[in-house]
Amino acid sequence: MTRQLGPRESSRVTSPTRPQSASLCAFAWLWADAALFDRLHYGWARDPLDALVVLASATVVLWPTRAVAMLLVVAAAQGLAVAVDLPETNNHQLFVAMAAAALLGGAAVELLRERRSTPRRELDVQGVLASAFELFRPAGRGMLVALYAFAVFHKLNFDFFAPATSCASRFLGAFVEDPPPLASHAAIWGSLSVEFLIPVLLLIRRSRRLGVVVGVVFHGVLGGLGYYAFSAALLPFYSLWWVSTGSLGTWPRLQGGRGRVMPDSRGLALLGVLGLLYLTRRQWPTMFEVAAPSAYVVLVIVVVVVLLGKTTGAGESLAPTMERRAASRLLAAIFVGLVAFNGLQPYMGLRTQAVWSMFSNLRTEARQSNHWVMRSSWQPFDYQRDVAVISESSLAGLARASERGQGIVWLELLRRVREAQGRGDEVSVAAIRDGEIYETERIESLAGTSPRWWELRLLRFRPVVREGPTSCDGYVQ
């Protein structure tokens, strides 16, 4: 006679061959891959947090079932690294940090729930993590859809649709030298259509598998062009939509039972390739610029063939309890809301860097919005209206903006000067603001007293195009 499971027992996931655990292993493996590609691009050991990310990610890659709990260590280290570096971060790192916070939040909820009902010595960490992953799945899905929604919405501007300035034309230039206007228009509409189509396909159950394939291949192309750190960061989120036990049948190490202590062969191969790429970057940087994107493209092929090639189901979770369903919805509402708020900041007069506006040609500063819908006059905050012109500067970023004829948001100028002061750098800068000349001494004085701490930590602005259309320069991170 079979014993009837209680609500709590039936909602927990403890077997590594259950669909939820298979999905978790694939998600953790891809998340760790993305973390390693990110560190490969930006530096493996810049500080202890980076070293922790690399070591924990390597553990997950090598033992994706036995060390899947290390995913929480990777997520925590990545989130903390972004928090420490703020506001100096980019789109995919900020997005991953938000997702890491959501995943850790789900783990905290499940851990507290288990502690109330389970003695500490009997706590099933693997089961807690699998249940936390199911709490996180709707939030991760919603965050990905919101990211694409803003990526499309930001591109609805005059300069993105102009072949001479569009970032889509710039990408086309990687394949065709001096492309004709018709080809540029095709690239513009084609790229925008794909980014619009991916979330639509994902939201429709019957087209979900196609949406995953289109998205993964699309980011394979972007990664092959050199933007592999950003593209790799999105791969684990596609596994939230379509990964099941059947799709992992050709990956026996992920299905492995007790006693398997040998590292996964694919993990060993990946780490070997990344190690060689790291050495190549140090010794032969030109070769690295070709080899690193190629390695990412190979990873994409592995994902498409192995994780998606024999999929038998949609990777849906088991029926959750009422309590878990409410917690999952709350988690999704909070973090999808954070993604949306970050995407809305340019139109609110707040930050313009790392706001999901990658490759969009968007401009909202200096009362000159180029967006089809959103007007600068609607901004409730004045940061973007206060723009200075740099006449001379010893700081490389400000000097570059001056050479290009670009302006700089006043708060951004004060932030950069204050950071230089903190490093002990000798600062020389002159700027014109509202027709008034500001010399080094006055700017340094204002930089040391005016900006509030949260403005310095949370707000970051791009150089401002003062006249003419907004080109793709500055939209490549």
Q: What is the dihedral of CA 395, 401, 404, 410, to 10 degrees?
A: -140
Domain stops at, among 279, 313, 345: 345
The predicted pLDDT at position 245 comes to 41
476 in a domain, yes or no?
no
Residue 258 pLDDT > 50: no
Is the residue at 472 inside a domain?
A: no
The confidence score (pLDDT) of residue 102 equals 96
Lowest mean pLDDT among 73-87, 224-238, 300-314: 300-314
Give residue 317's pLDDT. Answer: 47
Instruction: Give the gyration radius of the chain's Cα atoms.
Output: 24
The confidence score (pLDDT) of residue 123 equals: 64
Quote the mean pLDDT of the chain: 81
What distance in Å separates the CA atoms of residue 472 and residue 336, rounded to the nearest whole number? 28
pLDDT at 16: 39
| Token pair for 43 | 């530096």
Is there a single domain that holds both residue 323 and residue 387? Answer: no
Task: Supply the pLDDT for residue 158.
Answer: 94
Same domain assignment for residues 304 and 437: no
Query: Are 244 and 120 found together in one domain?
Result: yes
Q: Are 313 and 413 in a shared domain?
A: no
- Residue 162 banded pLDDT, cuts 50, 70, 90: very high
Structural domain includes residue 398: yes
Same-domain pairing of 309 and 255: yes
Query: Could you count the other beta carbons within 10 Å of the beta carbon of residue 102?
Result: 27
Q: Does residue 475 belong to any structural domain of this protein?
A: no
Q: At residue 305, does pLDDT exceed 70?
A: no
Q: How far is CA 108 from the centre of its chain?
A: 22
Residue 277, C-beta contacts closer than 8 angstroms, at least 6 positions apart: 40, 288, 291, 292, 295
pLDDT at 318 over 70: no
Clarify whether residues 196 and 61 are in a common domain. yes
Output the pLDDT for position 331: 93
Domain membership of residue 60 (yes or no) is yes
Q: Does residue 454 share a domain with residue 321?
A: no
What are the CA-CA distances from residue 158 to residues 300, 375, 379, 404 (Å)?
33, 13, 19, 21
pLDDT at residue 255 in the model = 41
At 315, the amino acid letter reads G
pLDDT, tens only, 384-394: 999 999 988 88
Which pLDDT tens digit goes with each residue over 23-49? 788 888 889 989 988 888 887 667 788
> What pLDDT, on the 0 to 100 scale, is given for residue 459?
93
- Tell me: do 307 and 433 sit in the same domain: no
Does 353 reside within a domain? no
Q: Would you state the pLDDT for residue 109?
A: 87
Same-domain pairing of 237 and 149: yes
- Averaged pLDDT, 393-398: 86
Mean pLDDT of 269-296: 74
pLDDT of residue 100 exceeding 90: yes
Tell me the mean pLDDT in the region 425-447. Answer: 87
Mean pLDDT, residues 155-181: 86
Predicted confidence at residue 356, as pLDDT, reads 95
Indicate if the pLDDT at residue 126 is higher than 80: no
**Phi-psi domain of 349 (left: phi exceeds 0; alpha: psi -120 through 50; beta: other):** left
> Mean of the pLDDT values across residues 360-369?
91
- What's the pLDDT at 67? 74
290-301 in b/e form (b: 16+ CB < 10 A) is ebbbebbbebbe
Domain count, the chain: 2
Which range of residues forms the domain containing residue 147?
A: 8-345
260 and 111, same structural domain? yes
Return the H-helix or E-strand segment holding 234.
helix 228-239
Evaluate if residue 7 carries a pLDDT over 60.
no
Q: What is the pLDDT of residue 132?
A: 87
Given a cut of 70, is residue 53 above it in pLDDT? yes
Higher pLDDT, 102 or 290: 102
Average pLDDT over residues 212-232: 87
pLDDT attached to residue 8: 44
What contacts 286, CB < 8 A, 6 or more positions away? none
Residue 350 domain flag = no
pLDDT in tens, 335-348: 999 999 999 999 99
Our separate counts of H helices and E strands in the chain read: 18, 5
Residue range 55-95, pLDDT digits in tens: 888 888 887 777 778 899 999 999 999 999 889 899 999 99
Quick one: 25 and 174 in the same domain? yes
Residue 134: pLDDT band with limits 50, 70, 90: confident
Write down which residue in 282, 316, 345 finishes a domain. 345
461 band by pLDDT with thresholds 50, 70 and 90: very high
Last residue of a domain, one of 294, 314, 345: 345
Does residue 160 belong to any structural domain of this protein? yes
Say yes or no: 338 and 372 in one domain.
Answer: no
Give yes or no for a contact between 68 and 127, defined as CB atoms under 8 angstroms apart: no
Q: What are phi and psi of 461, to 5 degrees?
A: -130, 145
